[in-house]
Amino acid sequence: MPASAQIAERRQSRMIPVLRGEQGPVMVGLLPVAFLGLLFLLPVLRLFLLSVEGGTLAHFDKAITSDLYLTVFIETFRIAAIVTCCSLLMAYPVAYVLSTASPRWVLIGLVFLMLPFWTSILVRTYAWMILLGRNGVLNQALLGAGVIKQPVALIFNTTGVVIGMVHVLLPYMVFPIYSAMLRVNRDLLLAAEGLGASGWSVFRRIFLPLTMPGVIAGTALVFILSLGFYITPALLGGGKVIMIAVLIEQQVRQFLEWGFAAALSCLLLVIAVLFYVLLNRLGRRETIA
Amino acid sequence: MVLLRVPSRVKAGLFFLGNAMLGTAAAAQAQEPPKPPQIVFNDSGGDMQKAMRDSFYNEFEKRFGIRVVTTSPVDAGKLKAMVESGNIEWTVTEIGPEEAMLAEKEGLLEPLDHKIIDLSDYPKHLQDRKYIMPKGVYTTVMGYSTDAFPAGKGPTSWADFWDVKKFPGPRTLRDSPIDNLEFALLADGVAPDKVYPIDVARAFKKLDEIKPHITVWWKTGAQSAQLLVDKEAVMGSAWNGRYFVAIKNGAPLKIEWNQGMIKESAFVIPKGAKDAYWGQKMLAVITDAKAQGIYANIITYPGLNLKSMEYVKPELQTFMPTHPDNLPKQVWTDAKWWLDNGKDMNERWSKWILAK
Amino acid sequence: MNDATPHVVTAARGPLLSLSSIVKRYDAVLAVAGIDLSVQDGEILTILGPSGSGKTTLLKMVAGFEQSDEGYIRLGERDITDATPASRGIGMVFQNYALFPHMPVAENVAFPLEMRRMGQAQIKDRVAKALALVGLAGYENRYPRQLSGGQQQRVALARAVVFEPPLLLLDEPFGALDRKLREQMQLEVKRLQRQLGITALFVTHDQEEALVLSDRIAVMNLGRIEQIGTPFEIYAQPVNRFVADFIGESNLYRGNVSAVAQGRMTAEIEGGLMVTAQTATLYPVGSTVGILVRPEAPRTLGDGETADNVASGSVTEVVYLGDAIKYVVALDGGHDMTVRWPYRPSTETLQIGTRLRLGWSADLVHVVGWD
């Protein structure tokens, strides 16, 4: 009894005020709830209804049994996973540098980080072409230096898609990690060092676990956003990379097959939610402290 | 601002123009719905929108004193959403040929009012269109870099395009089965008049051969010509106007008209559009031979009004798909076949793209 | 931790930590301006100073978190001036404990042992002993956020001593605790320190805490040590005006020496009050000095009673302190004098406006140089 009572009590204390019946927060919470309900839940419900139009699961059946859609779903996850890993590997050091930089450098760093947001996809694609294309700066330099004999395909394939997506999604990984790093009490690092930990141990035992919530949040954000990417893979993939959003878009815009598009979207949504729940669970274990 | 100052003049002009254009002018005038301050025209945007503005939109504004507001891009899905929700933003929209037929089948279109839209100068087989207003033509043509292949030594057929030994270098084609299946059959020796119905298996088998040499399957019109300009590819396919704009800007490209896939560009009025009457008037302006000529001079997509060629500049004539030298070399796309098979072909296409 | 019988250390056994000519600059600011300091083996030495005095910087240099610009630091036989914090083997308790929030108590305490690659069985044993020592046996699996402030403090202590460091650094460790808990923890730290025979260097701005905890106190100001000595010396015999003013509540007046004779000197405080002092250090006639009278020194004189120093005035403020009462008395010469007397229920509390004669003997007057 004591254990369960304790848990119940803790749950009670953790409950958001709305559920504890305080009036002010209810009013404050109402607006966003109404906003989300109206602009998110309702359309999702409609989407679901569309996917089972005619009262059959035929659309889902097609989506699951057709090898094309299965293949594309798998490809989509594969690319999302690669993009997430690359973003993480790049974002972690970037966030660390930012978290230790002076305010002025933080500002400059953030502006650079946000640049892709302010640049149109076409301009970005063109810029990558200039840099990485067959006649791009990098290939020219490598050819000139005699490192390679033939131009290397750096864009218009999966590599290009990953580069383009990481470029755009990096801020989504950097910000949660950066803010997690800012929250780490620097005394903890000194304390660990003083207690005999090497630099690596301080990182592995203290800094990394404490910034894990940021890593998990960033991973969830980037992975889920990656799943829905459409234009970047289309342009930088050279048409050789197909992600599920491309097929959904085709069904919606080209073939006016909204029922089937809705079924594909529902599947994608379910998978994204499952992934989020899974990560969240992992995150809760990490942040138990 | 300028428009606000002209209505009185326009009204006077309208009266005479109306008389000149419409046989039943008096009757039409009597029951003409009130003029809205503006209509919304949805087009492909970019270079094409600029050309539309300088030809048809300005002409419409001048005639009727109604402002033409433009939106883009072309989106059949959005058309369906508008019609189904009853909240129709567009008065007129451009639409792809197969998508137009699909929209007609789904009942998303307003019928054309032949009392307003005069198609008597159009080719015979287009004169009785019920829903889809034929505006002009464009062709998916082959183009190549004259840096890679000097003029006269370039590929002249899709068989040449497939011949990577004789014409080496990376290629680019559109990321869509449309045109590519036809090109494959033509490359495989199928006679132009035997292309339809498409032997799909044969086409994909032939496409297997060229697949490793395609560096980019292009998605947007802008991409198609730019890839040649940037030397990412030495030859490719594109809509003829895109190559023309690049050539006009000095790019070392050449268009090969032989075995181009020529097709109709279409405009429609969404079913239940607010100012459908004025949409019909807009379409009537688009049938105007002179306006079509002006448009063709800007972007080399000629109108289907047979008299419009009279207004096309002589030096641009050879860039037109309808030029007597070019037209016979091309193959007409069978939009009906694509309406019936498009969905299956696209799935098959995606599978084929993903196959290693 | 030693299994041998806890030995009580009162006498110093020689210097364990010595700082020589330590200087630290931040840009143009001289944070530590040349400090020499020896901490004797087994003592608790407190560095006491206002914020900005450089005391924390000094502590960080001992811990190795900051590098000194000049000077040497020795720990026992070893020069640790340039050693990494990890290699110094010094235990430290941080201001906010710096417990690792993602580790339960046992893991926190085990951390320094793990870093020393000690065997698991030995670690378990040592952690259990350390936790028992601070009275937290049974809390092994709690997370820091599930503990009270005092308990967190104990974990921090256990973690700092579990690997038997020769030296323990404490950086304002009691600041976050309420008064009662603070006093309890102060005594506990003192008990622990004596029990373990550990040497402790302690930094605080709280002079009361310093007086309670320390064997010796070093008063720091503007990057320098103003005075170093036992709590009694610091309190009763401050060497200069800063120390006199900073330590304890004090009545400090500026005066001129008017006469010196037979180990006594008389100084005139502006406004005409003459104060006679009996001190070891005598200042020449005419020099400006600070006259220090601790609030507990004066007593009320009855009619006809007299003392070395006498002043009259009236009460302007009454502050009840529980075990004592503090009065502010406006002296007739124009100065205020704060007096503090133990409170007894039998004595009548003086009212504001009450006239009284205060008297105090010459040996309760301390004189410091004014400059």
Chains touching A (3+ CB pairs < 8 Å): B, C
Q: How many domains does chain B have?
A: 2
If you search the block for the tokens 């900051």, which residue do you land on? Answer: C66
Residue B244 within any structural domain of the chain: yes
- Answer whether residue B248 is part of any domain: yes
Mutate to test the interface with A, among C66, C108, C111 (most CBs of A within 10 A): C111
Tell me: do B205 and B347 sit in the same domain.
yes
C91 min Cα distance to partner chain A (Å): 7
Same domain as B129, residue B47: yes
The reply to whether B175 and B237 lie within a common domain is yes
DSSP annotation of A17: G
Residue B227 and residue B102 share a domain: no
Please report which confidence band the pLDDT of residue C6 belongs to, taking 50, 70 and 90 as the band edges.
very low
What pLDDT is attached to residue B221?
84
B12-69 per-position pLDDT tens digit = 444 444 444 444 444 445 578 999 999 999 998 878 899 999 999 999 999 999 999 9
Neighbours of chain C (3+ CB pairs under 8 A): A
What does the pLDDT look like over A141-152, one tens digit per residue?
999 998 888 888
Q: Would the CA dihedral through A113, A115, A118, A124 be positive or negative?
A: negative
Range of the structural domain that residue B180 is part of: 139-262+325-333+341-354
Q: Please give the DSSP secondary-structure letter assigned to residue C287.
A: -
Contacts of C84 in chain A (CB under 8 A): 193
Q: What is the largest CA-CA distance in chain B?
A: 69
Tens of pLDDT, residues B326-339: 999 999 999 999 99
Examine the pLDDT at B80 and tell me if it is beyond 90: yes
Q: What DSSP line would sit under C140-175, residue for residue?
A: TT--GGGS-HHHHHHHHHHHHHTT--SEEEEESTTT
Nearest CA-CA distance, residue A233 and chain C, Å: 40
Q: Are residues B293 and B254 part of one domain?
A: no
- Tell me the pLDDT tens digit for each residue of A111-163: 988 888 888 877 887 888 889 888 889 999 999 998 888 888 888 899 999 99
CB proximity A133 to B under 8 Å: yes
Cβ neighbours of residue B117 under 8 Å, at least 6 residues apart? B133, B280, B283, B284, B287
Residue B98 has pLDDT above 90, yes or no: no
Tokens of C222: 């503007």
Q: Are C170 and C92 in contact (CB under 8 A)?
A: yes
Nearest CA in chain A to B73: A253
Comparing A99-108, B47-56, C93-102, C170-179, the range with the smallest average pLDDT is C170-179
Nearest to A72 among B75, B216, B350 (CB): B350
Choosing among B75, B83, B216, B340, which should be mutated to test the A contact, i.e. which has the most A CBs within 10 A? B216
DSSP E strand stretches across chain B = 38-42, 67-71, 92-95, 133-145, 171-174, 214-218, 235-239, 253-268, 331-332
Q: How many A-B residue pairs are in contact by the CB < 8 A criterion? A: 74
pLDDT at A16 over 80: no
Which pLDDT does position A285 carry in this prediction?
67
Average pLDDT over residues C328-340: 91
Residue B176 and residue B116 share a domain = no
Q: How many CB atoms lie within 10 A of CB A264?
A: 24
Residue type, C199: T
Compare all CA atoms of chain A with the CA of B105 and give the residue at the minimum distance. Answer: A256
Residues B182 and B240 in one domain: yes
Contact A242 B103 (CB under 8 A): no
Taking any CB pair shorter than 8 Å as contact, residues of chain A touching chain C are 185, 187-188, 190-198, 201, 205-206, 209-210, 286-289
Q: B17 lies in a domain?
A: no
Q: Are residues B214 and B253 in the same domain?
A: yes
Chain A residues with CB inside 8 Å of C63's CB? 190, 194
* Between B152 and C5, residue with greater pLDDT: B152
Give the span between the Cα atoms of C13 and C165, in whole angstroms.
Answer: 17
What is the rounded CA–CA span in Å between residue C271 and residue C255?
A: 10
Secondary structure of residue B180 in the 3-state scheme? helix
Distance of CA A101 to the CA centre of its chain: 25
| pLDDT surpasses 90 at B257 | yes
Q: In what order do the strands lie in the sheet with C216-221?
A: C91-93, C167-171, C199-204, C44-48, C216-221, C224-229
CA distance B336 to chain A (A): 14
Residue B206 in any domain: the answer is yes
Residue A195 and residue C112: Cβ atoms within 8 Å?
A: yes
Q: Which of C106-115, C120-129, C344-353 has the lowest mean pLDDT?
A: C344-353
pLDDT, tens digit (0-9, with 9 covering 90-100), for A17-37: 444 555 666 677 788 888 888
A96 pLDDT more than 90: yes
Residues with Cβ within 8 Å of B50's Cβ and at least 6 positions away in sequence, in order, are: B298
Q: Do chains A and B touch (3 or more CB pairs under 8 A)?
A: yes
Same domain, B236 and B250: yes
What pLDDT sits at residue B11? 42
Q: pTM of the prediction?
A: 0.79
At least 3 CB pairs under 8 A between chains B and C: no
Nearest to B77 among A126, A234, A253 (CB): A253
What are the extents of the domains in chain A?
1-51, 58-288
A260 CB within 8 Å of a chain B CB: no
Least CB–CB distance from A190: residue in C65, C88, C101: C65
Amino acid at residue number C106: A
Q: Is B52 a domain residue? A: yes
Q: What pLDDT is attached to residue B1?
A: 35
- Give yes or no for residue C9 having a pLDDT over 60: no
The side-by-side arrangement of strands in the sheet containing C288-293 is: C273-278, C264-269, C251-261, C288-293, C365-369
Which amino acid is residue C30, in one-letter code?
Answer: L
Question: In this complex, which of B80, B222, B353 lies closest to A240 when CB atoms are compared?
Answer: B353
pLDDT at B30: 52
CA nearest B298: which of B54, B57, B60? Answer: B54
Round to whole Å and give the CA distance between B322 and B303. Answer: 9
Which amino acid belongs to residue C311? A
* DSSP letters for B277-346: HHHHHHHHHHT-HHHHHHHHHHHS--BSSGGGGGGS-GGGGGGSTTSTTTGGGSEE--HHHHHHHHHHHH
Residue C175 or C140, more confident:
C140
Interface list for B 260-319 with A (CB within 8 A): none
In chain B, residues with a C-beta closer than 8 Å to the C-beta of A126 are: 226
Fold (CATH) for A58-288? MetI-like fold (1.10.3720)
pLDDT in tens, B260-283: 999 998 999 999 999 999 999 999
Q: Give the CA-trace dihedral at C357, C362, C365, C369, to 10 degrees.
A: 130
For residues B133-160, average pLDDT: 93
Residue B31 lies in a domain: no
Q: Which amino acid is at A66?
A: S
Closest CA to A50 of A224, A250, A251, A243: A251
B96: domain CATH number? 3.40.190.10
Say what the ipTM of the complex is.
0.81
Which residues from C are below 8 Å from A when comparing CB atoms? 63-65, 84-86, 88-92, 94-96, 98, 100-103, 111-112, 115-116, 143-145, 159-160, 163
| A233: closest chain B residue by CA | B219
Residue in C with minimal Cα distance to A288? C102
What secondary structure letter does DSSP report for C240? B
Mean residue pLDDT of chain C comes to 89
Residues B114 and B159 in one domain: no
Residue C1 has pLDDT above 80, yes or no: no
Closest-CA residue of B relative to A127 is B230
Please give the average per-residue pLDDT across C82-104, as a whole number.
93
